[in-house]
Structures are given as structure tokens and as C-alpha cells.
Structure 1
Amino acid sequence: MTPWLIKLLLVEYLIIAVVAFVEAYRGDAKAGPWCLYYVAAALISVAVLWM
């Protein structure tokens, strides 16, 4: 996989993580503890993008 493709996938995943976090923050019952997983995934995505 080319570096730009990997970054594109990370950006898409970051967007999904942000949306999921917002859903959890609004009190969506089915989000539950997954919220922390999405936050961690978003931080990892940002860290890799900055490399």
C-alpha cells in the first residue's frame, strides 16, 4: 500500500471515530465503553498522520 493511501484510510477512520465519540457523548446507550476505544483510535490516527 502506498503511504498516501494509508493516510487516506486513517483520515476516514478518524472521521468515523469522531462521529462515534459524538454519538456516545450525546448519551447514545449502545455506545457504552466503546467511546474510549474510539478516542484511543483517533489519537493513534493523528499520531501516525503526523509521522
Structure 2
Amino acid sequence: MSKIDELHKEYLRQRDELIAKMFMEEDAKAALSREKRGLQGMILPP
């Protein structure tokens, strides 16, 4: 495999990791927001 192919593969791996991290952070923020609403007595469907 050429160096360019190796770099491209590494770039795609890092990009996929970043996308996964962004989804996990968004899920955590949504869950925290939902819990805060629940504590305030404002249970709304997501």
C-alpha cells in the first residue's frame, strides 16, 4: 500500500472516531437536558 493510501485510511479512521464522539456528546447533552426538565416537572416527549 502506498503512503497516500495509508494516510487516507488513517484520515478516514480519525474522521469516523470524531463523528462517533460528536454523536456520543450530543446524546449525553440531550439526556442531561431531558433529566433537568424531568426534575423541574416538565416531562416532554423527546
TM-score range, shorter chain: 0.5 to 0.7
Q: Output the amino acid matched with 2:41.
A: G
2:27 matched to 1:13?
Answer: yes
Please tell me whether Structure 1 or Structure 2 has the larger radius of gyration of its CA atoms: 2
Higher relative contact order (CA 8 A, sep 6+): 1
Specify every segment of 5 or more residues in structure 2 that has no aligned partner in the other structure, as ranges.
1-14
CA RMSD after TM alignment? 1.9
Question: What percent identity do the matched residue pairs reach?
Answer: 13
Say whether 1:3 aligns with 2:17: yes
Label 1:30 to 1:2 Cα distance change in 2 as closer, same or farther (>3 A): closer
In structure 1, stretches of 5+ residues that fail to align are: 32-51
TM-score by length of 2: 0.55
Equivalent residue runs for 1:1-51 within 5 Å: 2-30=16-44
Distance in 1 between the 2:43 and 2:18 partners? 36
Counting matched residue pairs gives 31
